[in-house]
Amino acid sequence: MAELTTLARPYAKAAFEFARAADALQQWSEMLTLAAAVAQQDAIVKAMGSPALTAQQKSDAFVNVCGDQLNEQAANLVRILADNKRLNLLPEVQQLFEAFKAQLQKKVDVQVTTAFELSGELQDKLAKALSAKLDREVSLSAEVDQSLLGGALIKAGDLVIDGSVRGRLAKLAEAMNS
């Protein structure tokens, strides 16, 4: 996964910078979401992996499947990816683009996992506290995992805060074994 991210980052960064300069972040977000979804379809994966097709044929077929949903610049990105044998990176390019967009807009998606259901009021308080700590607008989603025993596991991008009982027991066991 890290290798795919490394390969996709320059394409995502270029698309993001172009979209930002053109003030078309939302349009590019939608186009890349569509392209990523198309790139994951079984028939497309098979066609794009075919050695019988040239890069030009692959990119033309891909752009035709997307129809008029891609503008000329997005179609050019698809052609560049095809020329470099990187069409399989489109889902990763889309994810990185969204991460760049969220960072620019100072937004972050936070996943909170708890042992028990959180009330709406508690979720609001947690979102406000995280928003202040992270200096970002927080979009919070909660899920229940009873194996945590208690506490919470909070994931915001690459930040992980493990305040779960299970996590603390694991740290204690590790400390005792070392």
Q: Band the pLDDT of 2: cuts 50, 70, 90.
A: low
Same domain, 94 and 145: no
Given 102, 126, 153, which residue is the final one in a domain? 102
What are the backbone dihedrals phi and psi of residue 142, each rounded to the nearest 5 degrees, phi first? -120, 145
Say what the pTM is.
0.68
Same domain, 168 and 93: no
Same domain, 49 and 114: no
Same domain, 71 and 126: no
Q: Is 71 left (phi over 0), alpha (psi -120 to 50) or beta?
A: beta
Same domain, 26 and 83: yes
**Distance from C-alpha of 78 to C-alpha of 75, rounded to nearest angstrom:** 5
**Distance from C-alpha of 71 to C-alpha of 63, rounded to nearest angstrom:** 10
**Tokens for 51?**
């050695």
CB-CB contact of 55 with 80 (8 Å):
no
Given 102, 119, 136, which residue is the final one in a domain? 102
Same domain, 93 and 130: no
Same domain, 144 and 171: yes
Residue range 113-141: average pLDDT?
Answer: 89
**Distance from C-alpha of 120 to C-alpha of 112, rounded to nearest angstrom:** 13
Same domain, 127 and 58: no
CB-CB contact of 94 with 70 (8 Å):
no
Q: Rg of the chain's alpha carbons, rounded to an integer?
A: 21
* Structural domain of 85: 2-102
Same domain, 118 and 56: no
- pLDDT tens across 102-121, in order? 888 888 888 999 988 989 89
The larger pLDDT score, comparing residue 103 to residue 16, is at 16
Same domain, 13 and 47: yes
CATH number at residue 59: 1.10.520.20
Same domain, 77 and 17: yes
Count of the separate structural domains present in the chain: 2
pLDDT of residue 1: 52
Q: Find how far residue 16's CA is from the centre of its chain.
A: 14
